[in-house]
């Protein structure tokens, strides 16, 4: 088994060099466009990926960004970290 990441290109030359010993390529990513699927299929090499591993994380980040924008979180964070936050005010401008 060959474990790879999305930054490593696994082309036909790599697959042919490792065949017939190589049986499986597993990528630690959602996408698999960095692996030559046609050559893998031709050589009988199985390609594995993690299709839904980031779905929850993407949804969480989207909600976090929406709340951050609605509540002006970036501005508040900068004010607190710089020592310029004057305390709570109704509009906090």
Q: Regarding predicted confidence, which is higher, 26 or 72?
A: 26
Q: Is 77 left (phi over 0), alpha (psi -120 to 50) or beta?
A: alpha
pLDDT at res. 85: 87
Domain boundaries, the chain: 2-48, 54-86
The pLDDT of residue 50: 93
Q: Does 46 have pLDDT greater than 90?
A: yes
Task: Tell the CATH superfamily of the 2-48 domain.
Answer: NAD(P)-binding Rossmann-like Domain (3.40.50.720)
In this prediction, residue 86 carries a pLDDT of 86
Q: What is the pLDDT of residue 93?
A: 58
CB 40 within 8 A of CB 15: yes
35: helix, strand or coil: strand
pLDDT (average), residues 82-92: 84
d(CA 30, CA 58): 12
Q: What is the dihedral of CA 25, 31, 34, 36, to 10 degrees?
A: 60
| pTM for the predicted model, two decimal places | 0.65
Kindly provide the b/e burial profile for residues 10-19, where b requires at least 16 CB atoms within 10 angstroms of the residue's own CB: beeebbeeee
- Mean pLDDT, to the nearest integer, of 44-59? 93
Predicted local distance difference test score (pLDDT) of residue 15? 98
- Residue 92 binned pLDDT confidence (cut-offs 50, 70, 90): low
């Amino acid at each position: 088994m060959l474990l790879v990441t999305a930054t490593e290109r696994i082309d036909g030359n790599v697959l042919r060099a490792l065949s017939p010993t190589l049986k499986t390529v597993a990528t630690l990513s959602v996408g698999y466009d960095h692996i030559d699927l046609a050559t893998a299929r031709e050589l009988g090499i199985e390609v594995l990926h993690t299709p839904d591993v980031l779905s929850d994380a993407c949804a969480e980040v989207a909600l976090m960004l929406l709340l951050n924008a609605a509540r002006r979180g970036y501005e508040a964070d900068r004010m607190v970290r710089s020592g310029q936050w004057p305390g709570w005010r109704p509009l906090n401008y």
